[in-house]
Amino acid sequence: MIKLENVCKSYFLGEEEVKAVDSVSLQIKEKEFIGIQGSSGSGKSTLMYLIGLLETPTSGKIILEGKDVSKLSDDDLSKIRNRKVGFVFQSFNLINRFTVFENVLLPTKYAKSGLDFDPVKSAEELLKRFGIYDRRNFFPNKISGGQQQRVSIARALIMKPKIILADEPTGNLDSKTGDEIINILEDLNKDLGVTVIIVTHESEIAKKTKRKIYIKDGRLAEKYL
């Protein structure tokens, strides 16, 4: 589904080059459940942003469903992202001036062409599935962290993406709530066949994923279990 070929991403701080991701080649198939692990600063988030087309590579290719997307314009990339990728972040990234319901609907407002589903109905279904329908008219800062993360997962799912990328989704949650979030992500993979990629520091979480990718100084080491 997504292939990275010798992908590098460098940041330049003055003269100094920081190779956040260094010559990574990686193939991600449909319906995979993957954990990305590595120490702080190793390049996990950068790799995730490259896979999710939030960042473009400095060099190398990213092939999505057979098409080279590494050199597309921001506008084209955002259209593809809107349809194909859902993001879940450690800090939830909900918009506080919008209600829970409006946050979940947001990606459907950005969709440039017609939707083949009823957004309101889909949002209601997702909120019910995640047990937060009764919070639909609340603002994000009036609900718990676990509830906010469920809202952000609903928002990530509303466009029916094939892939969900979660960057330390339990980092701001207590361990019980974190487990619930991981179980939700696991079920999305099992029941809906969504490809799920979780960036995590925690080996307990990584244990649940089917494929583990380790990154160190921007380079990959992989182990299948």
Ligand X SMILES: Nc1ncnc2c1ncn2[C@@H]1O[C@H](COP(=O)(O)OP(=O)(O)OP(=O)(O)O)[C@@H](O)[C@H]1O
Residues that bind ligand X (CB under 6 A): 11, 13, 18, 20, 38, 40-46
Residue at token pair 């008219």 = 137
* Partner touching 95 among ligand X, Mg ion, none, CB below 5 to 8 Å by kind: none
45 vs 147, beta carbon nearer Mg ion: 45
Size of the site for Mg ion (CB under 5 A): 1
Least spacing, CB of residue 55 vs Mg ion, in Å: 12
Least spacing, CB of residue 48 vs Mg ion, in Å: 8
Asked if 149 interacts with Mg ion (CB under 5 A), we say: no
* Partner touching 152 among ligand X, Mg ion, none, CB below 5 to 8 Å by kind: none
Structure tokens at 103: 């946050």
45 vs 122, beta carbon nearer Mg ion: 45
Closest of 156, 174, 173 to residue 165, by C-alpha? 156
Asked if 189 interacts with Mg ion (CB under 5 A), we say: no
